[in-house]
């Protein structure tokens, strides 16, 4: 079953076209990693799918619902509000900067939407939130506030918060980019666990090892285009396009430079 | 020094304190909601709304409160021959002026909210009113408490400007007594009242700030 289908998506900021003719499909249970240099449009793509950015043209279907129903002069015409809300609830989002609610405890961060939006009874929502906290290894933190947690812990709460809405597809926007390198592992491990559960996920990431080890498919973007797409091993280890090769080469040379300087220290 | 006279003044000024307190309370109760409304207007994406509101705020902040007090009372009088209650005129002027200041404080608080808070709320499916009342407002309240406290304390002292309209509040009573008695003591007593009221207020605000300090 196709959970996400994007056809010929284009996004312009005024005259600057930041996404060009993007088409992709994500099947149920698939984990897709989107990699590429800064400014390649990968985060903008996620933001378009989340209705944070206005799509200029193209088609988007999430879990069977069409987000775009037509084409107007100034941009794509969106589906009625009810449909857009349904799409929102089917799609979960994990942000680079966590965006936890600082004035709410960890537990309330997670239960707020299930109680207010899904109208779940408070007890049930709390019960489920505790189970999710256990899953992300933070069962002892339910009464803490976000400011009392490390970045990695905050990101784990934000994953639990997204999971509490039981989304059919999960988007991650560079979930480890705001974290210290030693904390990225704990987040990637959780995402790996979710992959094993068969969750459908699209992850924008700079973590090549994650893309290689966890993703079913890797999409390489550059300059607003999808340049290359395929199995992680093919894209990362045997890229076909020059642009992908150049990007990955720089990546590995940076890696080796970093490890060399570690050796010197 | 005549201690019994000082005691008399303290008692005599209580009625003035009452009037000052009335101006203070009515101004807060009316100017805060009005200020919230104005801050929405100021942030409106429709120029027909945001522009007049900006102009209003700019005028209220750019001219003396004393002038505004006299204007509110004397403009109807000289233009239409309309006489009305001086205290009411003072209340109107205070509310109009303070609403403008509160509007700017709330606008600043709203503007300081990170976009990510709105996006996280939207991604979770929270409606706009839910987002505002459950997520944004509680954080804005915390952020605007210090500058609101400043404004509130200034208001206590500003009530004395109603003196210009001969409203019988604390300051005008004290100043009259100073003229009658030829001593400065009545003004000092009024000062004591103002000071203690503000001391109470700042303790109250410190308590509120502490209460809201459970998160950063």
In this structure, the dihedral spanned by the alpha carbons of residues B139, B142, B145 and B147, taken in order and rounded to 10 degrees, is -60
The Cα B182–Cα B163 span in angstroms is 19
Mean pLDDT of B29-35: 97
Task: Choose among B114, B123, B134: nearest Cβ to A116.
Answer: B134
Quick count: other Cβ atoms within 10 Å of Cβ A251?
Answer: 15
Q: What is this model's ipTM?
A: 0.91
Task: Answer whether residue B15 shows pLDDT above 90.
Answer: yes
Inter-chain residue contact A117 with B120, CB threshold 8 Å = no
Q: How confident is the model at residue A237 (pLDDT cuts 50, 70, 90)?
A: confident
Q: What is each CA distance from A224 to A68, B33, B92, in whole angstroms? A: 20, 47, 58
Is residue A247 within 8 A of residue A37, CB to CB? The reply is: yes
Chain B CB within 8 Å of residue A247 CB: no
Contact B138 A85 (CB under 8 A): no
Other CB atoms within 10 A of residue B39 CB: 25
pLDDT tens, B54-76? 999 999 999 999 999 999 999 99
CA distance B20 to B27: 11
Mind listing the pLDDT tens digit for each residue in A164-187?
999 999 999 999 998 888 888 889
Question: Is A265 a residue whose pLDDT tops 50?
Answer: no
Distance from CA of B125 to the nearest CA of A (A): 6
Residue B140 has pLDDT above 90, yes or no: yes
**Does the pLDDT of residue B101 top 80, yes or no?**
yes
Q: How far off is chain B from A64, nearest CA to CA, in Å?
A: 18
* Residue A231 at interface with chain B, using a CB cutoff of 8 Å: no
> Which alpha helices (DSSP H) does chain B contain, by range?
3-12, 14-43, 47-62, 65-80, 86-111, 115-123, 128-130, 137-158, 170-181, 185-211
Average pLDDT on A222-250 reads: 89
Of the pLDDT bands very low, low, confident and very high (cuts 50, 70, 90), residue A209 is confident
The model carries a pTM of: 0.87
Contact check, Cβ <8 Å, A99/B142:
no
The pair of structure tokens assigned to A171 is: 């988007």
What average pLDDT score do residues A141-149 get? 95
Across the interface, which of A103, A116, A117 has its CB nearest the CB of B139? A103
Three-class DSSP category at B10: helix
Looking at residue A92, its pLDDT comes to 96
- Mean pLDDT of the residues in chain B: 95
């Amino acid at each position: 079953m196709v959970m996400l289908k994007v056809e010929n998506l284009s996004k312009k900021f005024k005259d600057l076209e930041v996404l060009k003719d993007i088409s992709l499909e994500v099947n149920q249970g698939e984990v897709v990693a989107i990699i590429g240099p800064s400014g390649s449009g990968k985060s903008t793509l996620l933001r378009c799918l989340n209705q944070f950015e206005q799509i200029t043209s193209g088609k988007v279907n999430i879990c069977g619902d069409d987000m775009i129903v037509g084409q107007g002069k100034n941009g794509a015409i969106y589906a009625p509000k009810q449909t857009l809300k349904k799409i929102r609830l089917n799609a979960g989002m994990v942000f680079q900067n966590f965006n936890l609610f600082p004035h709410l405890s960890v537990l309330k961060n997670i239960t707020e939407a299930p109680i207010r939006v899904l109208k779940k009874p408070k007890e049930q929502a709390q019960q489920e939130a505790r189970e999710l906290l256990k899953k992300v290894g933070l069962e002892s933190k339910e009464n803490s506030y976000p400011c009392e947690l490390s970045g990695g812990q905050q990101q784990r709460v934000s994953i639990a918060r997204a999971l509490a809405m039981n989304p059919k597809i999960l988007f991650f926007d560079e979930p480890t980019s705001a974290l210290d390198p030693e904390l990225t592992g704990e987040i990637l491990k959780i995402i790996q666990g979710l992959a094993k559960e068969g969750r459908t996920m699209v992850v924008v990431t700079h973590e090549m090892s994650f893309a290689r080890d966890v993703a079913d498919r890797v999409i390489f973007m550059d300059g607003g285009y999808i340049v290359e797409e395929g199995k992680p091993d093919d894209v990362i280890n045997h890229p076909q396009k020059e642009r992908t090769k150049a990007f990955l080469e720089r990546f590995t040379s940076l890696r080796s430079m970093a490890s060399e300087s570690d050796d010197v220290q | 020094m005549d201690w019994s006279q000082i005691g008399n003044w303290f008692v005599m000024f209580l009625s003035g304190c009452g009037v000052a307190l009335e101006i203070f309370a009515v101004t807060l109760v009316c100017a805060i909601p009005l200020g919230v409304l104005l801050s929405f207007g100021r942030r409106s994406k429709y120029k027909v709304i945001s522009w007049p509101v900006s102009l209003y705020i700019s005028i209220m902040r750019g001219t003396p409160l004393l002038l505004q007090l006299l204007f509110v009372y004397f403009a109807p009088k000289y233009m239409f021959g309309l006489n009305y209650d001086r205290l009411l005129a003072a209340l109107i002027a205070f509310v109009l002026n303070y609403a403008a200041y509160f509007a700017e404080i709330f606008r600043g608080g709203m503007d300081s909210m990170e976009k990510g808070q709105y996006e996280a709320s939207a991604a979770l499916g929270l409606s706009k009113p839910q987002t505002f009342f459950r997520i944004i407002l509680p954080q804005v309240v915390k952020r605007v408490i210090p500058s609101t406290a400043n404004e509130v304390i200034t208001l206590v002292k500003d009530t004395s400007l109603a003196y210009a309209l001969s409203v019988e509040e604390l300051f005008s009573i004290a100043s009259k007594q100073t003229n009658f008695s030829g001593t400065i003591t009545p003004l000092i007593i009024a000062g004591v009242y103002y000071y203690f009221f503000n001391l109470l207020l700042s303790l109250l605000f410190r308590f509120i700030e502490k209460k809201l300090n459970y998160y950063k």
